[in-house]
Structure 1
Amino acid sequence: MSEDTIETGKDDARHAEKMAKKKAAREKIMATKTDEKGLIVVHTGKGKGKSSAAFGMIFRHIAHGKHCAVVQFIKGAMATGERDLIDRHFADLCEFHTMGEGFTWETQDRGRDVATAQAAWEKAKELILDERNSMVLLDEINIALRYDYLDVNEVISFLREHKPYMTHVVLTGRNAKEELIEIADLATEMELLKHPFRSGIKAQAGVEF
C-alpha cells in the first residue's frame, strides 16, 4: 500500500470522525428546539430576492396543503408569474389580492397612494385574523411604511396584539423600519453585489416577474 493511499485513508477517517462529532452536536441542539409559533418574518435590503424568497415560503405552504394569502401593496400595474400561477392553479389554497397601482413614481399622487395602502392594510388585517390562513404575505409593505402611507406603530401594535399565535406573517420591501425589525422573529437583509440592470439589461420574465 502506497504512502499516498495510507494518508488518504487517514484523511477520510479524520473527516468521518469530525462529521460524526458535528452531527452529534447538531442533534443535541435540535433536541432543545421544541416550540412552535407563528413567525413575523421581514425580508429587506437593496438586493434582489426579497419577494422571491417570500413567495418560496408561500409555495411551500401550498405544497403542504396549507391555506395562505398574499396582499401586494405596491405592485399591480403588470402581471407576474407568481400571481398567474396561483390564480390559475392554487386559488383554493391561496387568496391573492393585488392592491397596489404601481411604484410611487408612477402614480405621482400621494393622497391616492395613501388611500391604496390603507385599503391594502385593511385587507391584510382581515386575512391575518382569518385563522384558516397559516401564512399571510404582505408584499412590499415596507415601501408603504417607508413613505409613511401607513403608521408603523399601528402595524406593529396589530401584529403584537391581534395576530393569531400560529399565523406566520411575512413583510417584504427595502428600507424596513427598525421598529419592525425589532419585533421580527426572522429578519433577512438582501445585499446587492451585482445587478444586470446596471449593465443595461431590462427586467425579464421568469427572473424579475
Structure 2
Amino acid sequence: MTRIEADEQARHAAKMARKKAARDRMMKTRTGEKGLVIVHTGPGKGKSSSGFGMIMRAIAHRMPCAVVQFIKGAWDTGERRLLTAHFADLCQFHAMGEGFTWETQDKARDVAAAEAGWDKAKALIRDPAIRMVLLDEINIAFRYGYLDPHAVLTFLRAEKPPMTHVILTGRGAPDALIEAADLVTEMVQVKHPFRAGIKAQPGVEF
C-alpha cells in the first residue's frame, strides 16, 4: 500500500468511525415500540410487492399474520400460491375481491365484496395474536367509493391492538390516511415495460 493509499484509508476509517458514533448516539434515543399503520401508495410499481415482502419478513420471525386482498383477489398470484401452500400455519390469506370495476361492471357487487373484505379485516385486526395484517389494494376501494376511509381510520384508532402492524396498499391513498399513518412510502413510476407493449408477466407482476 502506498502512502497516499494509506492516508486515504485512514481518512475513510476516521470518517466511518464518526458516522458510527453518531449513529450509535441516535439509536440510543430510539427505544419506542408500537404497532404501525403503514401506507404504500403512488403510481409506481411495487406497492403490493413491498407489502408482501413485509409479510414474508414477519413469517420469518414466526409472527402470525394475515392478508386480505381487495379488488384483485380473484387473480391467481405467486404470493397467494406461496403463502397458502407453505405458510398457512402462520399466515391467513383471504382473497375477497372479484377484479377491477371495469371487469365486474357491477358496482353493487364490488361494494359488497369490499365490505365483506373489510369485515374480515376487522376480525383479523382485532385478534391480538395476529401481529401483521396486509390490506392489499384497499386504497383502490377508497378511491372508487366502495369503502369509507374515515370509518376505517376510526376503527384503527379505536380497536387496533397496540402491537399490531397494519399495511394498506394501493395508489391514491386518501389524505386523511396519509396524515394518520406512521409510515408512508410513495412509489414513483420512472419507467414501465407496459408502455413499450410488454404484458404483465409471472414473477414480476403477479
TM-score of the pair, normalised by structure 2: 0.98
Q: What does residue 115 of structure 1 align with?
A: 112
Q: What does residue 163 of structure 2 align with?
A: 166
Q: Deviations over 1:92-141 (max 9, x none)?
A: 10000000001121111111111111110000000000111000000000
The DSSP-based 3-state class of the residue aligned with 1:143 is: helix
Distance (whole Å) between structure 1 residues aligned to residue 111 and residue 189 of structure 2: 29
Which amino acid in 1 is paired with 2:128? E
Q: What does residue 150 of structure 1 align with?
A: 147
Distance (whole Å) between structure 1 residues aligned to residue 145 and residue 76 of structure 2: 26
Deviates more, 1:108-117 or 1:94-103: 108-117
* Counterpart mapping for 1:79-90 below 5 A: 79-90=76-87
Q: What does residue 56 of structure 1 align with?
A: 53
1:134 aligns with 2:136: no
Please state how far the C-alpha of 1:152 moved relative to its aligned partner: 1.0
Please state how far the C-alpha of 1:78 moved relative to its aligned partner: 2.1
* Counterpart mapping for 1:8-19 below 5 A: 8-19=5-16
Distance (whole Å) between structure 2 residues aligned to residue 57 and residue 159 of structure 1: 19
Q: What does residue 191 of structure 2 align with?
A: 194
Q: Deviations over 1:31-78 (max 9, x none)?
A: 111111000000000000000000000001111111000000111232
- Where do 4+ consecutive residues of structure 1 move more than 4 Å? none
Q: What does residue 21 of structure 1 align with?
A: 18
Distance (whole Å) between structure 1 residues aligned to residue 49 and residue 163 of structure 2: 23
Identity of counterpart residues, as a percentage? 67
TM-score of the pair, normalised by structure 1: 0.97
> What stretches of structure 2 of length at least 5 have no aligned partner?
none
Q: Deviations over 1:145-174 (max 9, x none)?
A: 011111111001001111000000000000
* Counterpart mapping for 1:39-50 below 5 A: 39-50=36-47
Corresponding pairs, count: 206
Deviates more, 1:15-24 or 1:102-111: 102-111
The DSSP-based 3-state class of the residue aligned with 1:91 is: coil
Which amino acid in 2 is paired with 1:56? G
RMSD, matched Cα: 0.9
Distance (whole Å) between structure 1 residues aligned to residue 157 and residue 23 of structure 2: 32
